[in-house]
Structure 1
Amino acid sequence: MQPSPVTPSIAPITPHAPSQRHTLLFWTLGALACVVAWDAAGQDLAFAQVFGSSNGFPMRDQWFFVQVLHEGARRLGWQLVLLLALSVWWPRGFLRKLDASERLQMAVSALLSLAVVSITKNLSATSCPWDLAQFGGVARHVSHWALGVLDGGSGRCFPAGHASAGFAFLGGYFALRHKLPSAARWWLAGALLAGFVLGAAQQVRGAHFMSHTLWTGWLCWVTGWLCDLAATALRPRFPHFASTTTPPDSSHA
């Protein structure tokens, strides 16, 4: 009698507890309220004037801000996206404790977050601070909520694209939080820190207003949450992709 083939164990698919959903909704709406409050206070221009004047922004071409915090961080962000994509099939470290669908969720949520910010930015008529007349440019300051109103500049500056190199990884928190809650919290803290540091660097250079960075963070968070909801709904349809079997570590072969 031939033994029956061994099938991979499948993690039980359970819906998110109502308390978890309520907590996420609370933080999401709370963050939205804070971002809207900043917009309503109209502090973007005043905050930008801390770093710039009618002569422009002195740190615009400063080597560290340009080569490290802009170009270097952008390349590092794309390298991390590539590593997440490769980890779907060849995971390393703590990612080996996730199933393939959760690793795919991390990669997809990052890519979708980048896409959401990029598409929104390309549709925006809002110009960057360094384009404004107050800072030596030609554009006038117009709220990004004045849809369809041109400010006389080049536009395509809202929300902050560069900050998404950090915030895009917020979605990883949702994929990690069920099996690796401690790693999820560290991942969340790292993505938030990276996003705000990169956003602040662009603020100092005159490339973005603070509201641009805040909206990027919120959009990436919501995109990550929506990816998590979609992944939870789709996993029962692809049980073999949600196998809890950990692939062997080839480095110890």
Structure 2
Amino acid sequence: MLTASRYRFYWVNFGIPLACAAVVFLMFDMTTIDMAFSNLLFDPVAQIFPLDHVRFFEQLTHKWARIIPNWTAEIALIGAVLSFVWPLVNPQKHPRLGAFLERCKAAPVLRFAHAHRRDFLFVVFAFAICTGVIHFLKSHTSVYCPIETTLYGGKMPHIEWYNNFQLFREAGKGRCWPGGHASGGFTMLALYFVARRYRWRYSKAILWGSLLLGFIYGTTRVLQGWHYMSHTFWAGIFVWAACLVTALAFYGRARLDVPVLKKAERPELVAQPVI
């Protein structure tokens, strides 16, 4: 039987996203709100989305913006690799090597990586799983972006994802649903679960910051005609689910459900034993 704490945890973390999915489906996928919003951004005379032709806007919002999730994933991967180095060094058996690493300030970095191996591996796996889920959905729904469809000067038909979903094979060449660029911002949600593990009082700031980043990433692509607004919402829902399931596998519910420390309390910075 589920305790009150477990019930609340699963209701909040699974129930709310499912409710959001139902709202997005009914409000956007079953209506023409997406197209009505995109119509406001489209120039019917020139048959273009004007912001799609602003080079600086493209560089700033699509190219340069990728630095944040890309560097986060790279740092996590480097940390995961380094976490296996300190046990191999074994200063007790190799005191000279240990002393050398202390002098060059590498030993603290290696010890930190070793102590937080589980966290680095979680972020690596969470990013990889989120990317895999989004790519699977893209290829198995084959939805074309607005700018590619006949509605906005393109050549491909407008198709809703639920009309074209194929579970066991690729549905076609369309790769627009859910929003890929938005999902890159939403993957920063993985850091929220690390913060919750250590009961960090700024964990909610990471949560809202990651959600904001994903919405900014997604909205900029909507302005360029490369996505509908609902694609951003769907990306956030699926990335949250992927991060949550991965966090449960790495940390367990009990560790994620502990109360966040108050300002006067001192957080425990030492990691649990590595896996």
TM-score bin (small chain): 0.7 to 0.9
| 1:119 corresponding residue in structure 2 | 136
- Residue 161 of structure 2 aligns with which residue? 144
Task: Provide the rounded CA distance (Å) in 1 between the counterparts of 2:196 and 2:165.
Answer: 40
Matching residue of 2:175: 156
Counterparts in 2 of 1:76-91, with a 5 A limit? 76-88=68-80, 89=82
Deviation digits for residues 213-236 of structure 1 (CA, Å, limit 9, x no counterpart) = 111110000001110121135xxx
In structure 2, how many angstroms separate the alpha carbons of the residues matched to 1:160 and 1:215?
A: 7
Question: Does the Cα contact within 8 Å between 1:160 and 1:213 map onto a contact in 2?
Answer: yes
Change (3 A) 1:205 1:154: farther
1:52 has 2:52 as partner? no
Residue 171 of structure 1 deviates from its aligned partner by 2.6
Q: Judging changes above 3 Å, is the alpha-carbon distance between structure 1 residues 87 and 182 closer, same or farther for their aligned structure 2 residues? A: farther
Counterpart among 3, 14, 32 of residue 25 in structure 1: 14
Q: Of 54, 67, 75, which aligns to 2:59?
A: 67
Tell me the distance in 2 between the aligned counterparts of 1:115 and 1:74: 17
- For residues 149 and 66 of structure 2, the distance between their equivalents in structure 1, rounded to whole angstroms, comes to 25
What is the number of equivalent residue pairs in this alignment? 219
Cα offset, 1:117, TM superposition: 0.8
Q: For residue 60 of structure 1, what is the amino acid of its counterpart?
A: D
Residue number in structure 2 paired with 1:223 = 242
- C-alpha contact 1:166 1:191 (8 A) present in aligned 2: yes
Give secondary structure in 1 for the equivalent of 2:181: coil
Q: Do the aligned partners of 2:14 and 2:241 also contact (CA within 8 Å) in 1?
A: no
Render the CA deviation track for 1:7-57: whole Å, top value 9, x for unaligned.
xxxxxxxxx744322322332223222222232233111111111133121
- State the structure with bigger RCO (CA 8 A, min sep 6), 1 or 2: 1
Aligned residue for 1:40? 30
CA contact (8 A) 1:177 1:183 kept: no
Residue 204 of structure 1 corresponds to 223
2: CA distance, partners of 1:58 / 1:145: 30
Distance 2:79 2:23 in 1: 35
1:86-128 superposed Cα distances (whole Å, 9 cap, x missing partner): 2344698xx98x8421332122112211221123213332111
Q: Note the C-alpha offset of 1:139.
A: 2.1
Gapped runs of 5+ residues in structure 2? 84-107, 167-171, 253-269
The TM-score normalised by the length of structure 1 is 0.76
Deviation of residue 64 (structure 1)? 2.9
One-letter code of the match for 1:40?
A: M
Task: Give the percent of matched residue pairs that are identical in Structure 1 and Structure 2.
Answer: 26
1:243 deviation in Å? 5.3
Is the 2:178–2:235 Cα contact (8 Å) retained in structure 1? yes
The aligned amino acid for 1:21 is Y
Deviation readout 1:60-107 (Å, 9 max, x if unpaired): 121232111101112432111111222344698xx98x8421332122
Contact 1:167 1:220 in 2 (8 A): yes
Q: Which residue of 1 aligns with 2:120?
A: 103
Q: For structure 1, list consecutive stretches of 5 or more residues without a partner in the other structure.
A: 1-15, 234-241, 247-253
Given the two structures, how large is their TM-score scaled by the length of structure 2? Answer: 0.70
Q: Is the 8 A contact 1:109 1:224 kept in 2?
A: yes
Matched-pair contact (CA < 8 Å) for 1:171–1:223:
no
Q: Quote the offset at 1:59 in angstroms.
A: 0.8
Give the Cα–Cα distance (whole angstroms) in 2 for the partners of residues 102 and 171 of structure 1: 10
**Which of 226, 244, 248 does residue 272 from structure 2 map onto?**
244
For structure 1, which segment, 194-203 or 125-134, has the greater mean C-alpha deviation from structure 2 after superposition?
A: 125-134
- In the alignment, which residue of structure 1 is the partner of 2:256? none
Native 8 Å contact 1:128 1:207 kept in 2? yes
CA distance in 1 between partners of 2:120 and 2:208 (Å) = 19
Between Structure 1 and Structure 2, which shows a larger proportion of helix residues?
2
